[in-house]
Every structure is written in structure tokens, then in C-alpha cells.
């Protein structure tokens, strides 16, 4: 993470905490910085293990409570890709993308197709709305599983 991004997300969090009269704790900033030092999707358990391995003293409950604050502050996006397990990703300087989820191994693939943004703009114009954000998820069966009997995306 660049220093510019770190400063920007820390400032956004500070402004949010002050506006909502929440305490500015070192744990909150540590969680935010850990999230922004990695790319891709994560779940709370993965975040917990990353922080535990770095000797941070945060509980799962602290992570669950603070992830809600980070979502509300617009710094994290929450996804439900199935199996009742939420996944999250960074939201600052978020590049719009969509997801394909392998239902065999549950791996999430990101993709961007400009035609989807064209559909969004056309829909805004036709229905006189301003789309704030969209979420498009494709759930798919691995072709390799059908043809070879195993999913190529599962790490062995």
C-alpha cells in the first residue's frame, strides 16, 4: 500500500469515527492497515489469522465489530458469494468489477467488461436513476470438473 493510500484511508476512518462519536483505537487502524496491505477478497477468519501471525492482539469479535464500521465508513465492501460466508474487499479507489464464483472450489474470479458499464449507464438514462454501485455475480461449474473429474482451481 502506498503512503498516499494509507494516509487517505486513515483520514477517512478518522473523519468517520469523529462524526459518529466512536473511539479512535489503535486496533481499528491496525485492522484497516492490514486489510489495505493485501489484495483480493478475504473473510474474517483469514484476516484474524493474518493479524494473529503478526502478533496483533485482536479477537474475532473485535474484527466482526470493526468490519461493520469499515463498511459503514465506505472503506470495505461486503459480498455474499454463497455458503453463508461473507467475503470482503477494499473499497477505497475501488475499480468496478464483477465476479465469477466456482461452485466446486468456491474460488472467486474477478473480471471487468465495459459492456456492463454501458448497460448500467443506459439503465440510468432510461429509468432516470443514478446507480450508486452494482454487484454482478456469476456462479459456475468448473468445466475441468466435468471433463477431467477434478476442479483445476483447487490447490493440491
Q: What is the mean pLDDT of residues 69-87?
A: 87
Q: 6: left (phi > 0), else alpha (psi -120 to 50), else beta?
A: alpha
- The residue with greater pLDDT, 41 or 147, is 41
Residues 39 and 115 in one domain: no
The residue count of the chain comes to 156
* CATH number of 130's domain: 3.30.1490.190
Instruction: Say what the pLDDT of residue 154 is.
Output: 66
Instruction: Say what the pLDDT of residue 155 is.
Output: 60
C-alpha cell at 93: 479507489
Q: What is the mean pLDDT of residues 21-34?
A: 95
Residues 85 and 101 in one domain: no
pLDDT tens, residue by residue, 141-153: 887 776 777 777 7
Residues 57 and 101 in one domain: no
Q: Which of 22-26, 79-83, 124-128 has the lowest mean pLDDT?
A: 79-83
Domain count, the chain: 2
Phi and psi for 51 in degrees, rounded to 5? Answer: -75, -40
Local structure of residue 40 (DSSP, 8 states): S
**Average pLDDT over the chain, rounded to whole?**
89
Contacts of 4 (CB under 8 A, 6+ apart): none
Four-residue CA torsion sign, 147, 144, 82, 156: positive
Q: Which residues pair with 109 in a beta bridge?
A: 100
C-alpha cell at 115: 459492456
In which band, very low, low, confident or very high, does the pLDDT at 156 lie, cut at 50, 70 and 90?
A: low
Asked if residue 68 has pLDDT above 90, the reply is yes
Local structure of residue 96 (DSSP, 8 states): P
Instruction: Say what the pLDDT of residue 71 is.
Output: 95
Q: List the domain range (segments joined by +) for residue 44.
A: 1-92
Cβ atoms of 137 and 111 within 8 Å: the answer is no
Cα–Cα distance between 42 and 146 in angstroms, integer? Answer: 28
- The residue with greater pLDDT, 107 or 130, is 130
Domain-ending residue, one of 66, 92, 118: 92
* CATH number of 53's domain: 1.10.10.10
In which band, very low, low, confident or very high, does the pLDDT at 101 lie, cut at 50, 70 and 90?
A: confident
Residues 57 and 76 in one domain: yes
Cβ atoms of 88 and 42 within 8 Å: the answer is yes
Contacts of 40 (CB under 8 A, 6+ apart): 89
- pTM of the predicted model as reported, rounded to 2 decimal places: 0.75
Amino acid at each position: 500500500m502506498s503512503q498516499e493510500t494509507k494516509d487517505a484511508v486513515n483520514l477517512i476512518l478518522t473523519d468517520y469515527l469523529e462524526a459518529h462519536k466512536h473511539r479512535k483505537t489503535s486496533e481499528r487502524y491496525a485492522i484497516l492497515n492490514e486489510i489495505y496491505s493485501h489484495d483480493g477478497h478475504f473473510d474474517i477468519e483469514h484476516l484474524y489469522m493474518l493479524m494473529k501471525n503478526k502478533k496483533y492482539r485482536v479477537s474475532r469479535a473485535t474484527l466482526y465489530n470493526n468490519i461493520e464500521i469499515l463498511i459503514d465508513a465506505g472503506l470495505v465492501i461486503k459480498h455474499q458469494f454463497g455458503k453463508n460466508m461473507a467475503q470482503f474487499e477494499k473499497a477505497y479507489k475501488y475499480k468496478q468489477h464483477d465476479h465469477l464464483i466456482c461452485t466446486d472450489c468456491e474460488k472467486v474470479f474477478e473480471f471487468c467488461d465495459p459492456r456492463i458499464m454501458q448497460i448500467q449507464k443506459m439503465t440510468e438514462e432510461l429509468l432516470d436513476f443514478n446507480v450508486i454501485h452494482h454487484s454482478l455475480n456469476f456462479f459456475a461449474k468448473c468445466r475441468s470438473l466435468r471433463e477431467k473429474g477434478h476442479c483445476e482451481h483447487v490447490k493440491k
